[in-house]
A and B are shown apart, each in its own frame.
Chain A
Amino acid sequence: MITATGRLHNQIIWNRLIAVVEEQAQTLMRTAFANTVREAGDLSAGVFDLRGRMLAQAVTGTPGHVNAMAASVGHFLNKFPVADMVPGDVFLTNDPWLGTGHLHDFTVVTPAFRNHKPVALCAATSHVVDIGGLGFGADGRQVFEEGLYVPIMPLAKAGVMNESLLQIVRANVRESVQVEGDLYSLAASNATGCERLATLMEEFELSTIEPLADTLIDTSEQAMLKQIRTLPVGTYRNQMRIDGYEDAVDLVAALTISDSGIDIDFTGTSSVSAYGINVPLPYTQAYASFGVRCLVGADIPNNAGSLAPIRVIAPPGTILNAPHPCAVAARHAIGQMLPDVVLGCLHQVLPQRAPAEGTSCLWNPVLYGGHGLGAATLPFTVTLFHNGGTGARPHADGLSATAFPSGVRNTPVEINEAIAPIVVWRKEYRVDSGGAGQFRGGLGQVMEIASAEQTPFSISSMFDRITYPPRGRENGQPGAEGRFYLRSGNTLRAKGRQTVPAGDRVVMEMPGGGGYGDPLKRDPENVARDVAEGFVSVQSAAEDYGVIFDSDGDIDVTATAATRASRANIDVV
Chain B
Amino acid sequence: MPALGAMTGRIAVDIGGTFTDVALETPDGTWVSKVLTTQNDPARGALAGIEQVLHSSGVAPSAVRLVIHGTTLATNAIIERRGARTALITTDGFRDAVEMGYENRFEQYDIDIVKPSPLVPRRLRMTVKERISAAGNMLVPLDLASVDALLPALVDNDIESVAIGLIHSYAFADNEYRIAERLRAALPELSITCSADVCPEIREYERLSTACANAYVQPLVERYLRSLESLLTDRGFNCPLLLMTSAGGLTTVDTAVRHPIRLLESGPAGGAMLAADIARRNGLDDVLAFDMGGTTAKLCLIERGQPRSARHFEVDRVYRFSPGSGLPLRVPVIDMVEIGAGGGSIATLNVLQHIQVGPLSAGSEPGPACYGRGGRRPTVTDADVLLGRVDSERFAGGSLALDTGQANHAVYHDISIPLQLDTALAAFGISEVVEENMASAARVHAVERGRHIGHQTMIAFGGAGPLHAARLATKLGIDRVVIPAHASVGSAIGFLRAPVAFDVVRSHYVQLGEFDPMAINAMFDAMRSEAESVVHAGAPGADVTETRSAFMRYIGQGHEIEVHVPLHALTAADADTLRANFDATYAQQYDRSIPDQDVEILTWSLRVCARSPDVVDATNEFTEPRRSDPIERPVFNPETNDYEETPVYERGAMQPEILHCGPALIAEDQTTTDVPASFSATADDSGNLLLTRIATTS
Min CB gap A534→B, angstroms: 6
Cα distance A402–B202 when bound, in Å?
Answer: 22
Q: Which 9 A-B pairs have the closest CB atoms?
A: A38-B558, A426-B93, A19-B440, A409-B102, A417-B134, A298-B109, A410-B103, A533-B122, A418-B134
**Is A22's CB within 8 Å of the partner chain B?**
yes
Min CB gap A99→B, angstroms: 20
Cα distance A459–B451 when bound, in Å?
Answer: 41
Chain B residues, CB < 8 A from A192:
447
Which of these, B97, B440, B641, contacts A413 with CB under 8 Å? Answer: B97
A27-B447 CB under 8 A given contacts A399-B115, A414-B202, A418-B134: yes
Is the pair A39, B167 in contact by a Cβ cutoff of 8 Å? no
Is the pair B203, A415 in contact by a Cβ cutoff of 8 Å? yes
**Is B94's CB within 8 Å of the partner chain A?**
yes
Q: Identify the interface centre among A31, A401, A448: most chain B CB within 10 Å of its CB.
A: A31
Min CB gap B37→A, angstroms: 34
Cα distance A445–B204 when bound, in Å?
Answer: 17
**Is A35's CB within 8 Å of the partner chain B?**
yes
**Is A559's CB within 8 Å of the partner chain B?**
no
Residues facing A in B595-645 (CB within 8 A) are: 596-597, 641
B124's nearest neighbour on chain A, judged by CB, is A533
Which of these, A4, A27, A427, contacts B97 with CB under 8 Å? Answer: A427
Is the pair A414, B420 in contact by a Cβ cutoff of 8 Å? no
Cα distance A504–B94 when bound, in Å?
Answer: 20
Cα distance A8–B352 when bound, in Å?
Answer: 12
A412-B443 CB under 8 A given contacts A396-B112, A429-B96: no
Cα distance A22–B443 when bound, in Å?
Answer: 10
B205's nearest neighbour on chain A, judged by CB, is A412
Cα distance A359–B183 when bound, in Å?
Answer: 41
Min CB gap B455→A, angstroms: 14
Is the pair A181, B594 in contact by a Cβ cutoff of 8 Å? yes
Min CB gap A440→B, angstroms: 14
Chain B residues, CB < 8 A from A178:
554, 556-557
Is the pair A410, B444 in contact by a Cβ cutoff of 8 Å? no
Q: Apart from A19-B436, A385-B103, A404-B105, what are 9 other A-B pairs with CB-CB below 8 Å? A: A8-B429, A23-B444, A196-B443, A223-B352, A393-B112, A408-B104, A412-B202, A427-B96, A445-B96
Residues on B facing A (Cβ under 8 Å): 93-97, 99-100, 102-105, 108-115, 121-123, 131, 133-134, 139, 167-168, 202-205, 350-352, 354-355, 419-421, 425, 429, 432-433, 436-437, 439-440, 443-444, 447-448, 450, 477, 509, 554, 556-559, 590-592, 594, 596-597, 641
**Is A80's CB within 8 Å of the partner chain B?**
no
Chain B residues, CB < 8 A from A175:
556
Chain A residues, CB < 8 A from B420:
4
Chain B residues, CB < 8 A from A404:
105, 111
A427-B450 CB under 8 A given contacts A11-B355, A177-B554, A408-B104: no
Is the pair B111, A400 in contact by a Cβ cutoff of 8 Å? no
Residues on A facing B (Cβ under 8 Å): 4-5, 7-8, 11-12, 14-16, 18-19, 22-23, 26-27, 29-35, 37-39, 59, 61, 63, 129, 175, 177-178, 181, 184, 188, 192, 196, 199, 219-220, 223, 227, 293-295, 297-300, 355, 385-387, 393, 395-396, 399-404, 407-410, 412-415, 417-419, 423-429, 445, 448, 452, 532-535
A428-B112 CB under 8 A given contacts A5-B641, A408-B104, A410-B103: no
A11-B112 CB under 8 A given contacts A4-B420, A407-B104: no
Is the pair A423, B450 in contact by a Cβ cutoff of 8 Å? no
27 A-B pairs in the complex with CB atoms less than 8 angstroms apart: A8-B421, A8-B425, A11-B429, A14-B354, A15-B440, A19-B436, A19-B440, A22-B440, A23-B447, A32-B557, A34-B558, A35-B558, A299-B351, A393-B112, A396-B114, A399-B113, A400-B100, A408-B104, A409-B102, A413-B94, A414-B204, A427-B96, A427-B97, A427-B100, A428-B96, A452-B134, A534-B122
Cα distance A61–B109 when bound, in Å?
Answer: 11
A293-B351 CB under 8 A given contacts A32-B558, A410-B102: no
A15-B436 CB under 8 A given contacts A177-B596, A428-B95: yes
A36's nearest neighbour on chain B, judged by CB, is B558
B597's nearest neighbour on chain A, judged by CB, is A177
Is the pair B104, A8 in contact by a Cβ cutoff of 8 Å? no
Cα distance A199–B203 when bound, in Å?
Answer: 39
Min CB gap B569→A, angstroms: 27
Chain A residues, CB < 8 A from B103:
385-387, 401-403, 409-410
Chain B residues, CB < 8 A from A393:
111-112
Is the pair B105, A26 in contact by a Cβ cutoff of 8 Å? no
Cα distance A367–B99 when bound, in Å?
Answer: 25
Which of these, A31, A219, A409, contacts B352 with CB under 8 Å? Answer: A219
Chain A residues, CB < 8 A from B110:
298
Cα distance A445–B122 when bound, in Å?
Answer: 14
Is the pair A30, B596 in contact by a Cβ cutoff of 8 Å? no
Cα distance A404–B443 when bound, in Å?
Answer: 30
Min CB gap B310→A, angstroms: 14
Which of these, A5, A227, A407, A429, contacts B351 with CB under 8 Å? Answer: A227
Min CB gap A65→B, angstroms: 12
Cα distance A188–B112 when bound, in Å?
Answer: 35
Is the pair A407, B558 in contact by a Cβ cutoff of 8 Å? no
Is the pair A33, B96 in contact by a Cβ cutoff of 8 Å? no
Is the pair B167, A11 in contact by a Cβ cutoff of 8 Å? no
Chain A residues, CB < 8 A from B352:
219-220, 223, 300
Min CB gap B450→A, angstroms: 7
Chain B residues, CB < 8 A from A534:
122-123
Is the pair B115, A299 in contact by a Cβ cutoff of 8 Å? no
Which of these, A33, A399, A417, A532, contacts B558 with CB under 8 Å? Answer: A33
Is the pair B432, A8 in contact by a Cβ cutoff of 8 Å? yes
Min CB gap A197→B, angstroms: 13
Chain B residues, CB < 8 A from A425:
93, 131
Chain A residues, CB < 8 A from B477:
199
Q: Identify the interface centre among A4, A401, A404, A532: most chain B CB within 10 Å of its CB.
A: A4
Chain A residues, CB < 8 A from B133:
417, 423, 452
Which of these, A5, A11, A427, contacts B93 with CB under 8 Å? Answer: A427
Chain A residues, CB < 8 A from B594:
177, 181
Chain B residues, CB < 8 A from A409:
102-104
A532's nearest neighbour on chain B, judged by CB, is B123
Which of these, B123, B134, B351, B436, contacts A300 with CB under 8 Å? Answer: B351
Min CB gap B440→A, angstroms: 4
Chain A residues, CB < 8 A from B436:
12, 15-16, 19
Chain B residues, CB < 8 A from A227:
351
Cα distance A19–B447 when bound, in Å?
Answer: 11
Cα distance A494–B524 when bound, in Å?
Answer: 48
Chain B residues, CB < 8 A from A532:
123
Chain B residues, CB < 8 A from A418:
134, 202, 509
Cα distance A59–B352 when bound, in Å?
Answer: 17
Is the pair B111, A294 in contact by a Cβ cutoff of 8 Å? yes
Chain B residues, CB < 8 A from A8:
355, 419, 421, 425, 429, 432
Min CB gap A20→B, angstroms: 9
A294-B109 CB under 8 A given contacts A15-B433, A414-B167, A427-B94: yes
A38-B596 CB under 8 A given contacts A11-B355, A402-B105: no
A408's nearest neighbour on chain B, judged by CB, is B104
Chain A residues, CB < 8 A from B444:
19, 22-23, 26
A18's nearest neighbour on chain B, judged by CB, is B440
Is the pair A355, B111 in contact by a Cβ cutoff of 8 Å? yes
Which of these, A32, A299, A399, A412, contacts B204 with CB under 8 Å? Answer: A412
Cα distance A410–B355 when bound, in Å?
Answer: 36
Chain B residues, CB < 8 A from A4:
419-421, 425
Cα distance A58–B102 when bound, in Å?
Answer: 21
A416's nearest neighbour on chain B, judged by CB, is B134
Q: Identify the interface centre among B96, B419, B425: most chain A CB within 10 Å of its CB.
A: B96
B641's nearest neighbour on chain A, judged by CB, is A5
Is the pair A19, B100 in contact by a Cβ cutoff of 8 Å? no
Cα distance A199–B476 when bound, in Å?
Answer: 11
A428-B597 CB under 8 A given contacts A393-B111, A417-B168: no
